[in-house]
A and B are shown apart, each in its own frame.
Chain A
Amino acid sequence: MVEAVKMRKRRHWRKDTIGDRIYYIFTWFILILLAAIVIYPLYFIVIASISNPDAIFNGEVYFYPLKITFDGYKRLFDEPLIWSGYLNTIIYTVFGTAFNLLLTIPAGWALSRKNLPFRRVITWFMVITMFFGGGLIPYYLLVAKLNLVDNPLSMIILGGVSVWNVFVVKSYFTENIPSELLEAAQIDGCGEFRSFWHVVLPLAKPIIAVMVLFYAVGHWNSYFDALIFLSDEKYFPLQLVLRDILITAEVTSQSGGSAETIIEQAKIANQIKYSSIIVSSIPILVFYPLVQKFFKAGFLVGSFK
């Protein structure tokens, strides 16, 4: 049996013309090259995270780590703020995403129903916010009026709905839930809520997964709201903690650092630059494959055919 397969393969190979072979070799070459272009930077971050920062700056690190040191990781893990930041980010991401879904999925569903009153007005109302914003200062004043400044709830509540995502959800529902299905459900005695809960939601798994991914990655990577609304370090998300350690050199002179302290900080920043990338992206890397199968299906659906 094995022999037979081998035979067939060999025969197949022999049947290839020279042109075919060149074609295959060429294709393989390009594919490998493309893969290398994608993989190398990621690989570089991994080896750079355990190399001496000076060696990296001098361009001595290419394919394997040099003067291996785990100082970057050690320093990173010694920093208590990293851990509280991690915990905060997880909390903001989990609850923030849950809050987002709570608003986005029903909103998308409602907008996809033709019997929604004032549907056009509501749609326009939402579209307007996609193109026009009030600006940073009014935004800040509004949030301050809501007493959300220096309040970790702001990390969960703000940006609760992304209009873009609502439309993605809406178009998924429009295309995938035929109104006949709902009629059938209503004949069987479902009210609006029950049919949403028991009929629509089970069919919406792919789009929910996509939304989870979109929102969760957004929460995970966001720092700007935290930057302007939070001052207490114990509420800082991970990205902001890392940012504070990494981006210091330019502003230090302003609040009274001296030449030495600036250099010292730059040194620390260089040490943890790469290890912090790894530490902060591992959860996303773990999480991604889990939703990826939905992601492909849902993403095509949402692509506004």
Chain B
Amino acid sequence: MKNKLLVGLTALLCLTGCQTTTSKISIDIDEVGYQWEDTDAPVIREKGAVSFDVIAPKNALADNYADMKVLNDIYDETYVKINWRNMSETSYATRKNLIMANKNEHPDAIYHAGFTDKDIIQYSSRKVIIPLDPYFDKMPNLTRILDKRPDVRKVLTAPDGHIYSLPKVEEMNLLPYPNLLFLNKVWVTDLINSGKIDFLTVADLKDGLNLTLEQYRTILTHFKANDMNGNGRDDELPLSFVYQNWQGNQSDLYAAFGIPENVDHMTLINGQVTFTATSDAWKDATNYLSGWVYEGLIDKEVFSHTQDAFLAKGKASNQRLGSFYWWESETVVTNPQDYIVLNPLIGPNGKQQIGVANNHEITRGEFVVFAKAPNPEIMLTHFDRFYDPMWSAQINYGPIGIVYEEELDANGKLVQKEIPAGLTADELRLKNAPLGLLYLSEEEWENTVNMEPRAVLRLARLAKHAVPYVIEGATPIPNITFTMTEINALATIQSDVIDYIYEQQTLWLLNGGPTDAQFNTFKTTLENIGLSQMINIYQTAYERFTA
């Protein structure tokens, strides 16, 4: 017994101990025939002569990157071999710090690194990750983009003036406008025909209808009072959305009172960081809307339901939604043809306004290179190809041959292939596209690849029903960088501010709005938490950003 055990243990130890990692050394770049000028030719002479270890968290539905056609196609072009070490996103989120802590396990780079400003400052000051700007002269595609777009360069630049990460840019100009208001026109037609509503005619019920808050409220009241879906149950939800969600949220209801509201309660007005939740109009809006919640005009579950639960509500056997905020009706309800898009509601002061959201279309921290990587220039020239418009499109949506036809159309644009039976377009995309390092902006949408039909539809609707109503001078706060001191200060203040507002706003909306005294206490408490300091930090950082 004893002997068997010993033998077993020894075997086990040997099995585990026999794996050794060999550390790599730099090679002579002339020897491998390294070149970067010709962006269509291989980067090195011999296929696979140079290889790099890259960690890449991937979506659960995506293929392994080693088997992904688009990445292999790029390998066929550059000859630089990437040994992908995939892990799941959840696993990476847990393991990121562990990987960073374990020097022996450092890869040459991380794709989809998701590095925060804090990570970048921390790890660059410890010389774990290296600045990439010294290699930009070997990255012709990226350099072309950065020369054309100084704002992208600004987003990337760390407080010490170096660039430590590569960007993802997907600009459709959708994200600043995450809300559209939809109204069930079948229900309203019923109300008009039964004489319950007299300020509208059936002919008015088309996209772009203008309603005042009070008129809209009247409609919702009737939705609530009557059995609109005719199933004999009081299950109609006059207005629904997802409270504080990044899209389809309550902001536009507040904006009707003249506040440039978004879920952060913070926006730029003519370059000034402006905070919304301390204004009197915000208090009035909260008071007014709490009435709607009380009367059941706003679905009480907006405060608790998830995005999924909300989306399911539109798909009940009997339609329950009278009106809702979302980007498009097609995702929400089973009968989108029955819904019209409203223009923003006209507020008590007669103005028709919305704010803008601070969602970013330029992100940094997507890709970082480790100090131990030998010949980083070879790897970076390889990844520079990702920023070529043709490759960017394929990185984002999937490769030619699977998602796109081999041949381009007359305008030189990629042509979408038919989607195989049993798959949705999104599934096909998730399976075949790594996403990540890419640059798709105006020029690319015009010359290289078509936007998805949904995005086109959204843009058309937003151009008509949202963009013209944005409060004058209001712009999103760009993806600005903070210094370490600022990050540390924000870490304590910002989450407290956000939590406190969330708590109070929810309480007021559910239980009746604030009295003047309560609102004053609210403002004082925010001040004590450090609201002004937070706004100052944003202002300073923004000014540094634009300087």
Contacts and interface: CB of A to CB of B under 8 A. Distances in A.
B204 interface: no
B307 interface: yes
What interface size band does chain A fall in?
A: 35 or more
Given A193-B2, A227-B94, A248-B59, A57 B89 contact: no
A284 interface: no
A257 B114 CA distance: 12
Between A141, A148, A197, the greatest number of chain B beta carbons within 10 A of the residue's beta carbon is seen for A141
Contacts, number: 142
Given A144-B104, A231-B91, A268-B61, A255 B114 contact: yes
B26 interface: no
A251 B454 contact: no
B194 interface: no
B429 A261 contact: yes
A102 B2 CA distance: 11
Contact of A255 (B17, B18, B101, B436): B436
Contacts of A248: 59-60, 89-90
Interface stretch (A23-31, A239-247, A274-282): A239-247
Contacts of B1: 193, 197
Contacts of A140: 98, 101-102
Contact of B101 (A137, A233, A245, A257): A137
Contacts of B405: none
Interface stretch (A4-12, A149-157, A287-295): A149-157
Contact of A252 (B2, B19, B59, B64): B59
Interface size class of chain B, counting residues whose CB lies under 8 Å from the partner chain: 35 or more
Given A57-B312, A147-B16, A243-B90, A137 B97 contact: yes
Contacts of A263: 307, 311, 331, 426
B64 A233 contact: yes
B168 A256 contact: yes
Given A149-B105, A231-B85, A231-B86, A256 B435 contact: yes
Contacts of A233: 64, 86, 88
Interface stretch (B266-274, B313-321, B478-486): B313-321
A254 B93 contact: yes
A160 to B, nearest CB: 10
A255 B89 contact: yes
Given A57-B308, A251-B93, A265 B16 contact: no
A258 B430 CA distance: 10
Contacts of A270: 308, 312
A199 B12 CA distance: 29
A245 B58 contact: no
Given A137-B97, A153-B15, A227-B94, A255 B313 contact: no
Given A57-B309, A58-B313, A264 B424 contact: yes
Interface string B57-88: 11111001000000000000000000001111
Contacts of B309: 57
A231 B216 CA distance: 53
B315 A141 contact: no
A266 B104 contact: no
A254 B90 contact: no
Contact of B436 (A230, A249, A256): A256
14 contacts: A136-B98, A137-B98, A144-B104, A147-B18, A147-B20, A151-B16, A151-B19, A153-B15, A233-B86, A233-B88, A254-B112, A256-B366, A260-B454, A264-B427
Given A58-B315, A151-B19, A245-B61, 10 more contacts: A54-B315, A55-B316, A58-B312, A141-B101, A149-B105, A228-B94, A240-B91, A249-B308, A257-B430, A270-B312
6 nearest interchain CB pairs?
A: A57-B312, A256-B435, A264-B426, A255-B112, A231-B87, A54-B315
